[in-house]
Amino acid sequence: MYAKNISIIIILLILISILTGCNDTIDKLTNNEHIINSTDKINNSNDAVKIGEMNIGNRKCLMIKDNNTYYIDSNDKNKLYMIDNQFKNKILVCDKYVLEIVSVTDNEIYFIQVTKQNEKPSMYDVCSINKNGDSYQVVISDVIISAIFLNDKIYYYRTTDEVADMAGNMFCNFNSFDINLKEEKIIDEKILHDRQPVLYKNKIFYIGTDHNFIEYNPDTEEKKKLNVNIEFFYRYSDDNIYAYKVNTVESTILSDNTKMVIMPEMEEIYYIWEMNVTKDYIFFLAQDTKEKNEIYRLNLYRMRKDGSELKKIYFTDYTRDIIFTEHFIYNFGDKLLLYERNENNYLSSRNKFQLIDYEGNEIDSSVFNYK
């Protein structure tokens, strides 16, 4: 009888142990589920990164980081500001003349400043400042056109002393600079720089030697020649390169390096000035005819990424030659920012900054409410 009771007690202890283990397992599963849900929330809150990808290839007068937007205010001596994701409040970050934002990291902001604009080619400095607006410094001097920041390295063009052609253009090297080791390295030599280098999905795209369009892998240092017309301007989306020139739009698929024409030449469109590619659409600003009288009109078009459903959704008029104005289209998920940069007021029909939705309806913003 005593032995039987002992057996029952042992069985009960085993059951209790099993149940306790099950509870621990349930707690672990619950915690894991919580972690997974938290991760999902993080991924969902990562829209800023996705939105940032939609603006790849556009001159970096505007950049999104951690739900904040950093932009160069051409109405205020090209000073650098930060605004919230509701476009209601802005904070001055840097009061220097900023030409282009290179990168916004967790701690630092890297940007381009003009140094020797009257030389051929123009020379720039890559500078940095922390997010509080302190600790300004020049990181690299005498950079040409633009720069990229990736894994604590800056990629850029630097001129050489060798003349490239009868027009007096100089050869350039495509270099990298490790900001920690303070070491400069040449990636490609004897380049006639024509387009800014671009970072997309941890690959660098640039115009290399012999006028080839190159995909460069910084990890492996592998270079791949792509079937992209170097005379075009480029945007990047969904592993495709979308290129435009005059009134034609092409697409190159990176996976198989095939190229196709999305929008062939058409009489209705005379010249494309700027383009951006979103998740579903291609937006571009274009003249429909040559300039007439003294009013120059730019129309904003929207079409599917396969070239279908071409539609004119917005327009703006200028009272002077628009060639002196830089045109930008930035995407914010469900809205666009049309941004003009010029030294004089060539614009007549709207603000230099105008928010619109995908149908072309204007959106008021207290940040961009001045002319």
Nearest to 255 by CA among 282, 215, 222: 215
pTM: 0.78
**H/E run at residue 356:** strand 353-357
Q: Identify the residue whose tokens are 């400043």.
A: 113
pLDDT in tens, the chain (371 residues): 444 444 444 434 433 343 344 333 323 222 332 222 222 222 333 444 455 566 787 778 888 887 788 888 877 888 999 887 776 788 899 998 898 899 998 889 999 987 665 666 678 899 999 988 888 999 999 888 789 999 999 999 988 888 777 777 778 899 999 999 999 999 999 887 778 899 998 999 998 888 899 999 999 999 999 999 888 899 998 899 999 999 999 999 999 999 999 999 988 888 899 999 998 999 999 987 765 555 677 899 999 999 999 999 998 876 666 666 778 898 887 889 888 776 555 444 455 778 899 999 998 776 665 44
- Domain residue extents for the chain: 1-45
Shortest CA distance to 141 belongs to which of 120, 168, 159? 159
**Dihedral angle sign, alpha carbons of residues 119, 235, 178, 126:** positive
| Alpha helices by DSSP H, the chain | 2-44, 47-53
